[in-house]
Amino acid sequence: MTTPLLAALAGLGTGLSLIVAIGAQNAFVLRQGIRRQHVAAVVAICALSDAVLISAGIGGVGSVVRARPSAVTAVGLLGGAFLVTYGVLAARRAVRPQAALTAADGSGGSLRTAVLTCLAITWLNPHVYLDTLLLLGSVANGYGHSRWGFGAGAVTGSVVWFTGLGFGARLLERPFSRPGSWRALDAAIACTMIALGVLMAVRA
């Protein structure tokens, strides 16, 4: 029988393996961290969202999602359109790096905008449901009575990752004091967001 501690460690490793990857959510958290804008709110939204979805997956909501593929399709289309739009905005910032540099000094970007953008990037991404509700939920339930220990480990991994990414990004503040650095970052974000958005819409 697997002990709760071993299940938690398995959940931690599995959760991190799914979260630590280049994606829309991580790119957004990284950018907010470098800018030092509303980092706590963004990190909290990402971590709490994962906690809710992982718990729901362990609780059996994943079966409901499987029974409603049309809902996942709708989320994929909306999420794809949103990511493409966000990518286009990032591309515009890459063309005008001085504007990005001005925003980085704290003069731009409201809390409301950051929160709404983070919620959209998180909840309009069908992959988050596949990773949390379906995959992590299914794996966790394989641990029987220790499934909630697995879930706690996965949630801990999410908290550790987003906290480290968001607040650790400030270590890159010096290199990003130059407009050229912001141009490169925003160009990379634009390519990532647009590519993910198109793939998301195509696969919906």
Per-residue pLDDT of the chain (204 residues), as tens digits, is 567 788 898 889 888 887 877 678 998 999 899 989 999 999 999 999 999 999 988 887 766 666 677 766 777 788 788 888 888 888 887 787 555 544 444 444 789 999 999 999 999 887 788 788 878 888 888 888 888 999 999 999 999 999 999 999 988 878 877 777 778 888 888 888 888 888 877 876
Helix (H) or strand (E) holding 187: helix 179-203
Picking from 193, 159, 154, the residue whose alpha carbon sits closest to that of residue 17 is 154
**What pLDDT sits at residue 115?**
95
**What pLDDT sits at residue 22?**
66
Q: How far apart are CA 141 and CA 135, in angstroms?
A: 10
Does the predicted model carry a pTM greater than 0.85? no
- 142 with 64: CB under 8 angstroms? no
Question: Using N-to-C axis directions, what is the helix angle for 111-123 and 39-58, rounded to 10°?
Answer: 30
Q: How far apart are CA 119 and CA 72, in angstroms?
A: 17
**What pLDDT sits at residue 101?**
47
- Which residue is associated with the tokens 């980092």? 39
Domain of residue 25 covers 4-203
Give me the number of domains the chain comprises. 1
